[in-house]
């Protein structure tokens, strides 16, 4: 069950962050002009907020059922790897040598985390 929840958490968190980036590509949707606050929230921003809210509930479940020293690095690493790929394929961001080395170090860290004692 925790593996499925972890998978859902990683995917939903990553999607939420991608949608938030898409929703704020024209700048911050909250503006302060002439003493008034205006909200210009689009579909992507709302979707990102909702997905991120759902991922928070999944995160709470994960940390309640697993060791913090295990689940937090695991979840963060998978989210980072998925966002690294999304940034390349969706936002056309550039892979740099330091980013690739960082991903390889994260993957090697995941391997060490999962080694049996």
**What digits encode the pLDDT tens for the residues 84-112?**
999 999 999 998 999 999 999 988 888 88
d(CA 11, CA 6): 9
- Give residues with Cβ within 8 angstroms of 49, minimum separation 6: 16, 20
Q: How confident is the model at residue 47 (pLDDT cuts 50, 70, 90)?
A: very high
> Tens digit of pLDDT for each residue in 15-45?
999 999 998 877 666 777 788 877 777 889 8
By the 8 A CB rule, do 6 and 45 touch?
A: no
> Which carries the bigger pLDDT value, residue 36 or residue 78?
78
Distances (CA, A) of 28 to 7, 43, 46, 50: 30, 14, 13, 17
């Amino acid at each position: 069950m925790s593996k499925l929840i972890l998978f859902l958490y990683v995917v939903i968190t990553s999607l939420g962050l991608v949608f938030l980036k898409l929703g704020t590509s024209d700048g911050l949707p909250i503006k302060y002009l002439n003493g008034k606050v205006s909200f210009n929230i689009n579909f992507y921003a709302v979707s990102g907020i909702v997905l991120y809210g759902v991922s928070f509930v999944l995160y709470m479940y994960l940390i309640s059922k697993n060791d913090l020293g295990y689940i937090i690095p695991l979840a963060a690493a998978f989210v980072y790897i998925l966002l690294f790929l999304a940034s390349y394929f969706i936002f056309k961001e550039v892979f740099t040598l330091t980013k690739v080395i960082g991903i390889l170090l994260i993957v090697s860290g995941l391997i060490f985390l999962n080694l049996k004692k």
